[in-house]
């Protein structure tokens, strides 16, 4: 069996459920830490033809540099050169800001917008030991006992480990198993409010197609009346689109509708005439698409991310809207923090037996304590941006047209950068050579020794200032005030 670059740490076996972006990243971080693991995935392969793109910010790219993956990822996308544009319902330019140039100035690198399937293929192909990833594993049952967990699959096989890591997305099977187990041990612990914490407030038509030279190399937001917007990411060789409209009544996981290919086609045709700039309508992109999908977008954050030998990461614990491309980054942060804490607990044991249930509980509690404030702030900022982009009120429309363009164009990217610089990194691996930026990282590794002390994630005060900017100052004051009180209480 392939060993980690670090010495193998005895005393723990992790069952990772889900081979998506968060789950495969967990495989890389656990391997790097020398922790035994297995990944199980219900689908037949690592990169099914679904989804559109994933944006990776500079703070997340530092983690991938630690994992030795950054060069692989840089081959999958062209850096933006034309900024971030905002347009009105007629396709007329409202404003353009040099978002990505400011990212490079502040952090040495900018955002990589990568096709989701290509990202999954790369994360899987670069695994040091692919034999640890098993496909076609539909879970039948998860049983927790005093010694660990056992998962039974529909094919008759089982996996045993010390705990199960739920990286299986917003409709998590592990989360439901955790709730069932918790309410068996402590009846009434998991409330209806917790089960309904994630609700779909937006419907999204998203897809992937070829490059469109006339659209430049940028990220664009087109806003329309009726709480609608279209986000476009255009690069020389590929383009991604996300069309949003608000649902009349939020759906829960128990009431959400399912959509067919016919529904997807109908949705695309319904917005085909919407202008995306001065010379093109959405239908011109739609007709060239490689694939598209219609889905409701849940958002919400759970108050409990773990119970017993179950722990959740990524969208299973905290789901945000995709307008600012923060959700995937947040999931990668979470597995990074959890890996750091697991490794620390194992090192402290010095190879003397397994981590006890009490020790695992301490790790999980510290993981949530570190990441919950960042998740909460990320959720609020993303939600505010979704409403602002879609002109979800007359004030937001007025603000987008008349107030935001008159503010300092560098204020928004600077505030995002302030948030990113507080993100965690692996605390046992050197970052190595990184382009110097104007802002100093909170978790620095300038010496390249891998001995940086990772500080707990900041509470997100900077993120709340982003929310205030995103929705136009006065309109956001009550939101920001409430979020600030909630996070700092």
Q: How far apart are CA 232 and CA 216, in angstroms?
A: 11
Instruction: Label residue 106 by pLDDT band (50, 70, 90).
Output: very high
CB neighbour list of residue 263: distance below 8 Å, 6 or more residues apart: 294
> What is the SS3 assignment for 23?
helix
CA 324 and chain centroid, separation: 10
Q: In this structure, which topology does domain 9-196+299-488 adopt according to CATH?
A: FAD/NAD(P)-binding domain (3.50.50)
* CB 167 within 8 Å of CB 160: no
Instruction: Label residue 87 by pLDDT band (50, 70, 90).
Output: very high
Q: How far apart are CA 437 and CA 238, in angstroms?
A: 28
Place of tokens 């929310």: 467
Q: Taking the domains of the chain in order of start, what are their residue ranges?
A: 9-196+299-488, 199-298
Q: How far apart are CA 71 and CA 104, in angstroms?
A: 17
pLDDT one-digit tens code per residue, 370-390: 999 999 989 999 999 999 999
Q: What is the pLDDT of residue 164?
A: 99
Place of tokens 């007329």: 92
- Other C-beta atoms within 10 Å of 96: how many? 17
Instruction: Count the residues in the chain.
Output: 489
Tokens of 448: 């390249």
pLDDT mean over 199-207? 97
DSSP character string of 398-439: HIIIIIGGGS-TTHHHHHHHHHHTT----TTS--------SS
Instruction: Label residue 469 by pLDDT band (50, 70, 90).
Output: low
Tokens of 26: 């967990």
* CB 271 within 8 Å of CB 205: yes
pLDDT one-digit tens code per residue, 262-279: 999 999 999 999 999 999
Q: Which residues of 197-208 are buried (b: 16+ CB within 10 A; e: fewer)?
A: bbbbbbbbbbbb
Instruction: Label residue 489 by pLDDT band (50, 70, 90).
Output: very low
% residues pLDDT > 70 (the chain): 89
| Strand-pair category, 163-166 with 9-17 | parallel
> What's this model's pTM, rounded to 2 decimal places?
0.92
| Strand-pair category, 112-115 with 149-153 | unpaired
| pLDDT, mean over the chain | 90
């Amino acid at each position: 069996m392939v060993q980690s670059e670090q010495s193998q740490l005895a005393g723990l076996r992790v069952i990772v459920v889900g081979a998506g972006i968060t789950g495969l990243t967990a495989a890389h971080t656990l391997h790097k830490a020398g922790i035994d693991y297995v990944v199980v995935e219900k689908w037949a392969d690592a990169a099914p033809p679904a989804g559109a793109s994933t944006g990776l910010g500079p703070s997340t790219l530092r983690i991938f540099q630690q994992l030795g993956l950054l060069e692989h990822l840089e081959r999958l996308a062209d850096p933006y050169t034309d900024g971030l544009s905002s347009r009105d319902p007629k396709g007329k330019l409202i404003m353009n800001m040099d978002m990505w140039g400011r990212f490079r100035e502040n952090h040495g690198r900018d955002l990589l917008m990568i096709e989701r399937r290509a990202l999954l293929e790369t994360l899987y192909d670069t695994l040091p030991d692919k034999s640890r990833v098993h496909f076609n594993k539909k879970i039948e049952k998860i049983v927790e006992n005093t010694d660990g967990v056992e998962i039974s699959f529909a094919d008759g096989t089982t996996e045993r480990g010390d705990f199960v890591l739920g990286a299986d997305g917003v409709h998590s099977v592990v989360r439901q198993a955790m709730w069932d187990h918790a309410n068996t041990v402590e009846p009434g612990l998991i409330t209806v409010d917790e089960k309904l914490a994630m609700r779909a407030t937006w419907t999204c038509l998203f897809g992937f197609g070829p490059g469109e030279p006339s659209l430049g190399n940028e990220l664009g937001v087109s806003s329309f009346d009726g709480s609608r917007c279209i986000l476009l990411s255009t690069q020389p060789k590929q383009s991604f689109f996300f069309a949003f409209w608000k649902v009349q009544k939020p759906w829960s996981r128990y009431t959400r509708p399912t959509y067919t290919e016919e529904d997807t086609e109908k949705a695309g045709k319904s917005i085909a005439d919407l202008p995306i700039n001065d010379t093109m309508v959405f239908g011109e992109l739609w007709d060239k698409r490689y694939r598209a999908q219609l889905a409701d977008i849940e958002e919400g954050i759970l108050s409990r991310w773990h119970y017993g030998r179950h722990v959740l990461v990524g969208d299973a614990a905290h789901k945000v809207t995709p307008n600012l491309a923060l959700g995937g980054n947040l999931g990668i942060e979470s597995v990074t923090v959890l890996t750091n804490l697991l490794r620390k607990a194992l090192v402290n044991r010095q190879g003397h037996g397994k981590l006890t249930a009490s020790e695992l509980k301490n790790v999980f509690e510290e993981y949530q304590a570190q990441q919950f404030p960042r998740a909460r702030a990320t959720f609020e900022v993303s939600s505010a941006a979704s409403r602002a982009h879609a002109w979800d009120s007359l004030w937001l429309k007025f603000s987008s047209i008349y107030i935001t363009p008159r503010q300092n164009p560098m204020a928004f990217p600077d505030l995002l950068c302030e948030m990113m610089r507080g993100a965690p990194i692996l605390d046992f691996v050197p970052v190595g050579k990184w382009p110097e930026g104007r802002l100093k990282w909170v978790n620095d590794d300038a010496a390249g020794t891998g001995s940086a002390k990772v500080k707990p994630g900041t509470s997100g005060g900077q993120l709340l200032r982003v929310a205030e900017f995103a929705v136009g100052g006065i309109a956001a004051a009550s939101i920001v005030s409430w979020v600030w009180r909630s996070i700092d209480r």
